[in-house]
Amino acid sequence: MNEEKRIPLPPAQARQRVDAFLTQLAAVPAVRTAGPRGRLLFALDATASREAAWDRACQIQGEMFQETSALGGLDVQMLYYRGFGEFHATPWVSDSKALIGTMSGVRCLAGKTQIAQVLCHALAEARAGKVSALVFVGDCVEEDVDTLGALAGELGVRGVPAFVFQEGFEPGAERALRQVAQLSRGAWCRFDASSASQLRDLLAAVAVYAAGGRKALDDYSAKRKGHVHLLAKQLE
């Protein structure tokens, strides 16, 4: 896999982008029903190659939770990797404001991908308790594809579909990430600078699935159609 040129983002700019995301996430209403809450792992590539898209992603990722309040709400654990073997996972939280203290210090740093670490962590959480779904947002794969496939297959056996959102058009990454999605019984979609609204709808659809299951996703996709409908079809 060819390595990409990665230029560090100025700390002040990176912090502004993360703060914008956290402000939006904190504003999501916490309306609940009596049913069990969904549990969603939300993993982000925070290496330098994604810096150009960070602002756009921060503006829309919080919106994925707005569709879940009537379905029992959503517990979220956020994961991210960056730099030299640096991997972080927040505690499970039901109040989005609890993420602010941890995530406000995030800086994008150049480094290799750690998708295997994400999948291993998801498996560990699935062994400890029910995990409804895993979301991964990234643009590059610099790891052994067979290793990723084996881990993704185990996630599929444990009922944890991976919803993989690839930024850009790198063909090697696409081959690997499509396999991760397929073997976990999840779905793969691409997005780029021209499809911010598409990614917003897709992330909201995954949150709906995590909170309410397949029927909730089918109902949501019937209203949204388009890419959301295609995402739901992949689960079949």
Q: Give the pLDDT of the chain (236 residues) as one tens digit per residue.
A: 444 444 444 555 545 554 554 444 444 333 334 456 889 998 989 888 776 665 555 555 545 555 555 555 788 898 999 999 999 998 888 766 565 555 556 777 899 999 999 999 999 999 999 999 999 989 999 999 999 999 999 999 999 999 999 988 899 999 999 999 999 999 998 877 666 677 778 888 888 898 889 999 988 888 887 888 888 889 87
Q: What is the pLDDT at residue 27?
A: 44
5 inside domain: no
163 inside domain: yes
4 inside domain: no
Q: Mind spelling out the 3-state secondary structure of the chain?
A: CCCCCCCCCCHHHHHHHHHHHHHHHHCCCCCCCCCCCEEEEEEEECCHHHHHHHHHHHHHHHHHHCCCHHHCCEEEEEEEEECCCEEEECCCECCHHHHHHHHCCCCCCCCCCCHHHHHHHHHHHHHHCCCCEEEEEECCCCCCHHHHHHHHHHHHHCCCCEEEEEECCCHHHHHHHHHHHHHCCCEEEEECCCCHHHHHHHHHHHHHHHHHHHHHHHHHHHHHCHHHHHHHHHCC
Q: Which domain holds residue 51?
A: 11-28+37-234
Tell me, what CATH number does 74's domain have?
Answer: 3.40.50.410
192 inside domain: yes
Q: Looking at this protein, which amino acid is placed at residue 117?
A: Q
The total number of structural domains that make up the chain: 1
80 inside domain: yes
Q: What is the pLDDT at residue 58?
A: 53
44 inside domain: yes
Q: What is the pLDDT at residue 196?
A: 65
β-pair type (86-89, 74-82)? antiparallel
Q: What is the pLDDT at residue 108?
A: 79
177 inside domain: yes
155 inside domain: yes
Q: What is the pLDDT at residue 136?
A: 94
Q: What is the pLDDT at residue 230?
A: 85
